[in-house]
């Protein structure tokens, strides 16, 4: 499988990537823990089968100090002991918001209440935005056959700021 378009070597693709990255920067301002953001982006990418994004978010999280144990257990977070209750609430919300087509009710009231218990309103807006943005990014990357395996930490931030 070959990439259909290399977004990083396409002028319009770079403009789009910079704007997506800018939204991520805005999300940072809500005070949502960075580790939670990394876990959310990784979990949605796993659900969507986006090798490029799994590669990127795993390597970026590791470079920022996330442990290998936690990264390996994201897919099985419900059956592990390494995530806080707050992180579990964010991961549950991520799964339900990512799998909207699979669930007749979308995000359940129970899952929303659980997330609301740990996150302030601005953080919830940031969390929902982050989930929406990573799902959009996953769909771009999967559709364009962006492949995982060769990402180097820091490349995205460098490209987006140039």
**Strand locations in 7-162 (E):** none
Determine, yes or no, domain membership for 65. Answer: yes
Determine, yes or no, domain membership for 162. Answer: no
The answer to whether the CB of 146 falls within 8 A of the CB of 56 is no
Determine, yes or no, domain membership for 156. Answer: no
- pLDDT score of 8: 80
Determine, yes or no, domain membership for 3. Answer: no
CA proximity to 148, closest of 25, 45, 12: 45
- pLDDT score of 1: 80
* pTM, two decimal places: 0.93
Q: How many domains does the chain have?
A: 1
Residue 124 neighbours by CB distance under 10 Å: 18
Determine, yes or no, domain membership for 1. Answer: no
User: What count of residues does the chain have?
Assistant: 162
- pLDDT score of 160: 67
Residue 79 lies in domain: 12-151
- pLDDT score of 31: 96
Task: Give the CATH number, domain containing residue 113.
Answer: 1.20.1290.10
Kindly give the confidence (pLDDT) of every residue in the chain, 162 residues in length, as a single tens digit, with 9 standing for 90 and above. 888 998 888 999 889 888 988 999 999 999 999 999 999 999 999 999 999 999 999 999 999 999 999 999 999 999 999 999 999 999 999 999 999 988 778 899 999 999 999 999 999 999 999 999 999 999 999 999 999 999 999 887 777 677
- pLDDT score of 67: 98
Determine, yes or no, domain membership for 161. Answer: no
Determine, yes or no, domain membership for 37. Answer: yes
CA distance 121 to 124: 5
CA dihedral for 73, 144, 99, 90, sign (positive or negative): positive
Residue 160 neighbours by CB distance under 10 Å: 17
Determine, yes or no, domain membership for 160. Answer: no
């Amino acid at each position: 499988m070959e990439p259909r378009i290399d977004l990083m070597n396409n002028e319009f693709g770079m403009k789009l990537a910079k704007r997506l990255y800018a939204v991520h920067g805005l999300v940072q301002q809500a005070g949502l823990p960075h580790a939670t953001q990394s876990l959310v982006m990784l979990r949605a990418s796993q659900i969507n089968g986006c090798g490029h994004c799994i590669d990127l978010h795993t390597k970026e999280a590791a470079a920022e100090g996330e442990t290998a144990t936690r990264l390996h257990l994201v897919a099985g977070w419900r059956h592990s002991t390494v995530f806080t209750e707050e992180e579990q609430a964010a991961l549950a919300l991520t799964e339900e918001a990512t799998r909207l087509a699979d669930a007749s009710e979308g995000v359940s009231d129970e899952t929303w209440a659980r997330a609301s218990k740990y996150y302030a309103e601005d953080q919830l807006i940031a969390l929902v935005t982050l989930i929406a943005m990573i799902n959009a990014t996953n769909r771009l990357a999967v559709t364009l056959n962006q492949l995982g395996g060769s990402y180097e930490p820091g490349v995205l931030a460098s490209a987006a700021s140039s």
